Chains A and B, each alone.
Chain A
Amino acid sequence: MPITVLMPALSPTMTEGKLAKWLKKEGDAIAAGDIIAEIETDKATMEFEAVDEGVLGKILVAEGTEGVAVNAAIAVLLLEGEDASAADTAAAPAPAAAAPVAAAPAPVASAPVASAPVASAPVASVPVASAPAAAAPVVTGAVEPFQPEVLTTTAYTLTDIPEKTYDKFVRMTVREALRDAMAEEMRRDDAVFLMGEEVAQYQGAYKVSQGLLDEFGPRRVIDTPITEMGFAGLATGAAFKGLRPIVEFMTFNFSMQAIDHVINSAAKTLYMAGGKMGCPIVFRGPNGAAARVAAQHSQCYASWYAHCPGLKVLAPWSAADAKGLLKAAIRDPNPVVFLENEILYGQSFDVPDDPDFVLPIGKAKIERAGKDVTIVTYSRMVGTSLEAAELLAAEGIDAEVINLRTIRPLDVPTILASVKKTNRCISVEEGWPYAGIGSEISAVVTESAFDYLDAPVRRVTGIDVPMPYAVNLEKMVLPDAKRIADAAKAVCYKA
């Protein structure tokens, strides 16, 4: 019986790929271990090795074909003694190309570096909720019933933040948006540099820093040893001295090796120095669950970092969020934890086509306006919540979806204004329920808009277990559109 050669999965997130090149032709003898084809995954071009030996009887998918599904038949291998006709009978029709593969990120143009390096330029459009003086803060409007002691914190945005609008857009992936944000800020300010594992020569473990080494050289794009505690501390020290490091954690799971420096060294120094010395630094990288990488590699750290005064915590969803917020984070004079998501890296969105595009920190975005129920969420769950909103719309429930974008300071005015309109609220996150971001949202809404609520706030979260590896169990953990829609219906008493 001839052996059908199937399209291999060559990365954890690959569902389809491009059959870039056949290195063998029909009739060629093949030994186990021979490289027979080159396959482009969502991350890289990989060599595909034969596992069995035989003769390449028939090629079923021509080279250059994009969107070949994993496990689709791509060739037929004849065993000793079989002739070519056996290949025809074995050949199942190859599935047609599905959606086109996301385009590889375009190389960075070696644009000229801004003439004079701008040292720690504060961004005018980012009104930072700074710690108020000892006197009781004056608060107006929406947040009046808020607990007085809560008002003295830097955890919340308390007044409406204006946001510029743009009319020209370009489409790009989240991956490209992040890269462009870093490149633009590095051109603008010589003090900005990128440091982390595999960020330079390898072009980033997830290809986010693609092209940066070429443009900025090894002085500013620096590969580190695997030593998170060491380089996070080193970068924090460099920031004390006025540099503006961007520290990439290969994933935020590994930031736990360095969390002491993020919190004890970076977040608390300004306070301990009585305001004399701060720490302008960005800690960034993918956060949350990827796919099938099990408990130690799939965790959301939003609530861990959002707990800490002295940090700002951002969590973009779209490419526009990613670009506008990363630029703001790099310009911000404080330590910023910037939580990305691996699954979003390859997704494309419209991004304002304006060299001055930057987003305000602390400002949420209403992604979908609605009148019946408010869904407050962030990062990848914004997309899932928008799907849920469509399910709800089909049942006559008009949901408003708020993309937090910034986790700390939390945009309280936007949340409250929405809840006062809809009278119902649910939160959605990948992380665990206990002391999660949803717990905070629930507390804020209950404290400040209790009289407007027609139902208790409900939290939709990741299930309270370490992430399992098994595919069926993993599927049960993270919120999906149905779980979100069910919670929304429950607070509308339509379940």
Chain B
Amino acid sequence: MATTPRRKPRSAKSSEVPDTEELVRYYRDMLLIRRFEEKAGQLYGMGLIGGFCHLYIGQEAVVVGMQAAALDGVDTVITSYRDHGHMLACGMDPKGVMAELTGRIGGYSKGKGGSMHMFSLEKGFFGGHGIVGAQIPLGTGLGFAHQYSGDGGVCFAYMGDGAVNQGQVYESFNMAALWKLPVVYVIENNKYGMGTSVERASASTALYQRGTAYGIPGAPVDGMDVLTVRDAALEAAEHARSGKGPYILEANTYRYRGHSMSDPAKYRSKEEVSKMRTEHDPIDQLKSKLLELNAIDEAGLKEIDREVKVIVTEAAEFSQNSPEPDPSELYTDILVDA
């Protein structure tokens, strides 16, 4: 599958200011996720995507900022069903992702997994999991494998503010701390788990402190500001990579759309949503910063817009032209031939 090679392995320190090229790349990566998700929403409306489809719009700065600390070809990422942004940020091919959304053979799982279930060993992306919280022990296991093989890698294991109340999260925290596993747990606190606000679900809402009992350091971070996320990510990854054990980051963020396509989101006010959109949008914020720093001009931004639009349009076309899986595919991939 063709992908866009665009990330260099890096060993940046959080104290270092990212160079212009890097800043522009964050902008482009976030914009790609935004436009990709808008297109996915549109294809859902046309009936080309079915079932559950959870959009990442509003949360782009989290995964893009975190990936700034990832070592390409070594580190691993695992998350829940709200996974399209993570896949794109890992460098997976938008065509393959979109074609999975439409259930076609050209999709990452040959159309058999759908929106919630995609994987790419090459890009270090381990899914795509539908059971809330289940990815956390799995991600802890990826960390275990990094340590076991001594490859120097770190696993970035993402969960929502709702998932953070699952018992298996704490079983994982204990083992990760006990064995000093290289895992960065990223809690994407978008304020709601479906229709339930954090306040209605969590006895303590300082989610970054959830590892305190296990001695796991934790920090809150403004998840709407990609540069803040990047700095925190570098520090957390450095901690985990150097053998000090797991780290917890609570990224405070927001999802603009409903939980999934069928959620009317009546549990929050229009003002709350529009305040986040107008005052904290991660893409708008970075755009202002880029212009302020003279890192790019309006023409340059337009060019990125255009480039992203082409990628998304091509992905959408591919996802509609790729054939449905052959009926014989129904019976394959149950077990590996041995």
Contacts and interface: CB of A to CB of B under 8 A. Distances in A.
Chains A and B bind each other: yes
Chain A interface, DSSP helix/strand/loop, else mixed: loop
B45 interface: yes
A304 interface: no
Contacts of A90: none
Contacts of A465: 330-331, 334
Given A223-B196, A227-B167, A477-B330, A470 B112 contact: yes
A471 B101 CA distance: 11
Interface in A451-479: 463-466, 468-473, 476-477
Interface string B196-218: 10001110000000000000000
Nearest to B201: A225
B41 A253 contact: no
Given A225-B202, A257-B131, A471 B50 contact: yes
Nearest to A233: B167
A296 B116 contact: yes
Interface in A66-117: 70-71
Nearest to B111: A470
B46 interface: yes
A71 B165 contact: no
A293 B114 CA distance: 8
B133 A469 contact: no
The range of chain A's interface size is 35 or more
Contacts, number: 169
A6 B327 CA distance: 30
Interface in B115-161: 115-117, 129-133
A197 B117 CA distance: 23
Contact of A6 (B46, B51, B264, B331): B46
A435 interface: no
B261 A10 contact: yes
A51 B51 contact: no
Nearest to A469: B114
A80 B109 CA distance: 40
A297 B260 CA distance: 14
B108 to A, nearest CB: 11
Given A47-B264, A198-B195, A293-B52, A469 B113 contact: yes
Contact of A292 (B41, B50, B100, B193): B50
Interface stretch (A38-46, A343-351, A408-416): A38-46
Interface residues of B, number: 53
Interface in B36-54: 38, 41-42, 44-47, 50-52
Contacts of A6: 45-46
Interface string B256-274: 0010011110110000000
A11 interface: yes
Contacts of B266: 44
A198 B196 contact: yes
Interface in A179-212: 197-198, 201-202, 205
A12 interface: yes
Contacts of B267: 201-202
B262 A46 contact: yes
A46 B261 CA distance: 9
B167 A229 contact: yes
Contact of A197 (B44, B50, B111, B194): B194
A277 B44 CA distance: 51
A296 B330 contact: no
Nearest to B101: A469
A366 interface: no
A472 B324 contact: yes
A254 interface: yes
Interface string A274-311: 00000000000000001111111100000000000000
Nearest to A5: B45
Contacts of B201: 225-226
A9 interface: yes
Contacts of B193: 225-226
A44 B267 CA distance: 13
Contact of B129 (A256, A296, A468): A296
B163 interface: yes
B329 interface: yes
Contacts of B165: 225-227, 230
B241 interface: no
Contacts of A225: 162, 165, 193, 196, 201-202
B132 A226 contact: yes
A8 interface: yes
Given A10-B261, A43-B262, A202-B194, A469 B167 contact: no
A12 B195 contact: no
B325 interface: yes
- Of all A-B residue pairs in the complex, the 6 with the closest CB atoms, nearest first, are A469-B114, A8-B45, A292-B51, A11-B262, A292-B50, A470-B111
Given A9-B46, A10-B261, 17 more contacts: A8-B46, A9-B44, A12-B52, A225-B196, A226-B163, A291-B50, A292-B51, A294-B113, A294-B116, A294-B130, A295-B117, A297-B116, A463-B330, A465-B334, A470-B324, A472-B324, A473-B111
